[in-house]
Amino acid sequence: MTPQALTPEHFLANADHTLLAPPTTAAELEAFLVDAVALGVKRVCVSPSLLPVDKRGLEIVTVVGFPSGVHKAEVKAFEAAQAVRDGADEVDMVVNPGLVHAGDWAGVEAEVRAVREASSGKVLKVIIESASLTDEQIVGCCRASEAAGADFVKTSTGFNAAGGASVHAVKVMADTVGGRLGVKASGGIRDAETARQLWAAGATRFGVSATGAIVAGWGSTETAADGGY
């Protein structure tokens, strides 16, 4: 099914406006939240140690096992439970790359299930770092995430040297689980044309830190390279 054309309003409605820089101060968080309300986004994604926050009508997304994913499943589950206690509405967990590269799909499913159980009733997204994976590994991650009860698969942390979201990876993810799970494109999205291409490829959510600049430049036709890195 061809997606509805992406307008600035759709983009803002489907964006997780993101601030995950490790040195973020309380003052920077406050300025970010003020900006988020002014921009008109519905959701913000911030580091778990910054929670709880004054929500001011926003939904709160946070991250677990971030950014490397090498944490034990029990640690990720604890982080997720704490995030929920701290008011998170959505949890974005990083999958263990060692399990993925070993093709241990039962292991991937088990850790996603552990976080799923710890974040019951909240939206769970699984970050797979698609830029560092083969298509077969992307498919394996998507299937394991679906089997474990995740709501979304998400391309990237935005902190991996391999890069961020690409049209190709989003297509593979959407072809595998689209229509049943959401697909969040994140990492390196810097302009409206890139967002449009990712949306056309099957993205249903964006993770972006450059939200304001993207909306301000919506009329421009310039494209940052596939993946934006």
Binding site for ligand G3H (CB under 6 A): 18, 20, 45, 157-158, 164, 186-189, 207-210
**Cβ closest to ligand G3H, residue 114 vs residue 210:** 210
Q: How far is the CB of 2 from ligand G3H (least distance, A)?
A: 26
Is 171 a catalytic site residue? no
Is 92 a catalytic site residue? yes
**Cβ closest to ligand G3H, residue 61 vs residue 201:** 61
Considering Cα of 91, then 138, then 204, then 149, what sign does the dihedral take?
negative
Q: How far is the CB of 207 from ligand G3H (least distance, A)?
A: 3
Is 89 a catalytic site residue? no
The set of residues, in sequence order, having a beta carbon less than 8 Å from that of 70 and lying 6+ positions away, is 96, 97, 98
Q: How far is the CB of 16 from ligand G3H (least distance, A)?
A: 7
The catalytic position among 122, 154, 171, 191 is 154
User: How far apart are the C-alpha atoms of 189 and 151, rounded to whole Å?
Assistant: 22
**Cβ closest to ligand G3H, residue 117 vs residue 191:** 191
- Enzyme catalytic residues: 92, 154, 184
